[in-house]
Structure 1
């Protein structure tokens, strides 16, 4: 079975943890322990989040006096793919002796005129006092908005339209390799219609939607979205909270709620199942094997149609 696994940001760096290298290494090793049993009997493609990591690099870039301007987000995103991809690849090789593992820097095509460029929504980088945030916005041409702890930069999150390296991933899978790719949703780029030249853009692509897009392109049998909770819940955070165990895409989107951190995961899972007729699931990292075998998590299956 071909499985695309999407590792959430809170899998690689737990809430409240310092983004130290040793902390992230330990979390990667924990993730690999959970995934190794699946990798033994299945084709595995692993995608991952990069929110804390790209935020840290963006903060360092803005404050570096040696730079005349901060590094653009596409380059910072590529840096995080290299860092997290290396950690995952090394740990996977240790857990799966003899298995070929490839960590691939991946580019995601977006539309130049995607409406998201007019409505930035994704927080990136550090928290600032209001006056500092607005001063930086004027100086850098940023958009800023209030977050829970203060003011932060916000950037566009355009929808994925293609993955440049899809054929390369196919080739690697056909050779028997386990592939790590599409980190942080992929490096966002536009493509010149005539020359095909790729140009990076100041944006971040939703990692779960990219994972769903990749799974569709690879004709995957299963999209596994892993996070730090065991299920998607209806009425989350209220006394009526209940886990969703087995749902169709429509039921998932209706019951998961209109907003919140679980919404993009629900939309990605629903999109993949609707468009392919395959299976998706959302659940906790440590239960990865059990989720695929139907004993944990929230399973998303196609709507049955009766003649």
Structure 2
């Protein structure tokens, strides 16, 4: 079986933890045994989030004022390499020496006419007072929105359209390579409106779960797993009526509402994969990954 597993941010940094290299490695080391067990029995493709890592790089850039902050596409590319290195090394320490692994820098095309560019919503980088945000907005082509009592930069989150490295990913999989790719939703790129054959980076963040769905569909995966820090999807989460969902058809899932900032993108990605392929998608806790693949843990989305 070919499985695409999208690792949530908790695979590297749990809520409230310091963003140190040692802590990120320790969390990958905790996740690695379950992923290695999966890789021994199935073809495995790993995608991952990078929100905390990009945020850290943005904070570091804000502290160094001698140069302009690096654009988000470059920060995304940096984190793909860093996180891929950690995953490769910790998995390689557990797998047989002859198991090949590869991290692939992944560019994903977005449409310049995507409505998301007219309404940026994705928070990135450090927090500011309103006065600081207003000053920066006057100096840079940045948009800001209130986030609690502070203000933060917001960027568009356009839909993923095409994975440029998909043929390379498929070729590696066909040769038995465990592939790590599409990190952080991929590096967002588009064709320059002034030159249709020239790719340029984009100041945007592609949703990691939607990019993982596109990846899973494109590599003909049998299963898409969206790993997070809760054991399943729940109806009425956080209310006295909350109820765990073990198995649900995609049509039934479409009738439910989920928060856009938490479970919403995972549910949407699962629904899209099932609709596009007729196969199974699952959402659940990373430390239950083996049971999720076996169908005994998590929430499983199937054809109606």
TM-score normalised over the length of structure 1: 0.95
C-alpha contact (below 8 Å) 1:246/1:299 kept by paired residues: yes
1:195: how far off?
5.4
Q: Distance in 2 between matches of 1:87 and 1:216?
A: 26
Q: Secondary structure at the match of 1:55?
A: helix
**Partners of 1:202 and 1:271 in 2: CA distance:** 25
In structure 1, the gaps of 5 or more residues are none
CA distance in 2, matches of 1:21, 1:73: 21
1:163 corresponds to 2:163: yes
Q: Provide the rounded CA distance (Å) in 2 between the counterparts of 1:196 and 1:182.
A: 22
Please give the secondary structure, in 2, of the residue aligned with 1:120: coil
Counterparts of 2:256 and 2:296, CA distance in 1: 21
Distance 2:149 2:33 in 1: 34
- After superposition, the C-alpha distances for 1:14-45 in whole angstroms (9 at most, x for unaligned) are 00001100000011111211211110011100
Q: Deviations over 1:131-176 (max 9, x none)?
A: 1122112211211111135211000001000000000000100111
**Structure 2 regions of 5+ residues with no counterpart?**
none
Q: Give the TM-score of the pair, scaled to structure 2.
A: 0.96
- CA distance in 2: counterparts of 1:77 and 1:35, whole angstroms: 23
* Alpha-carbon distance in 1 for matches of 2:34, 2:228: 12
1:240 and 2:241 correspond: yes
Instruction: Check conservation: 1:231, 1:245, Cα contact below 8 A.
Output: yes
Q: Cα RMSD (Å) of the superposition?
A: 1.3
- 2-structure distance, mates of 1:81, 1:260: 22
> Secondary structure of the residue that 2:93 maps to in structure 1?
helix
Instruction: Report what 2:46 is aligned to.
Output: 46
Offset at residue 284 of structure 1 (A): 0.1
Partner of 1:122: 122
How far, CA to CA, are the matches of 1:93 and 1:260 in structure 2?
33
Return closer, same or farther for 1:178/1:218 CA change in 2, 3 Å cut-off. Answer: same
Distance in 2 (CA, whole Å) between partners of 1:264 and 1:288 is 19
Give the Cα–Cα distance (whole angstroms) in 2 for the partners of residues 143 and 249 of structure 1: 36
After TM superposition, list the pairs within 5 Å mapping 1:130-141 onto structure 2.
130-141=130-141
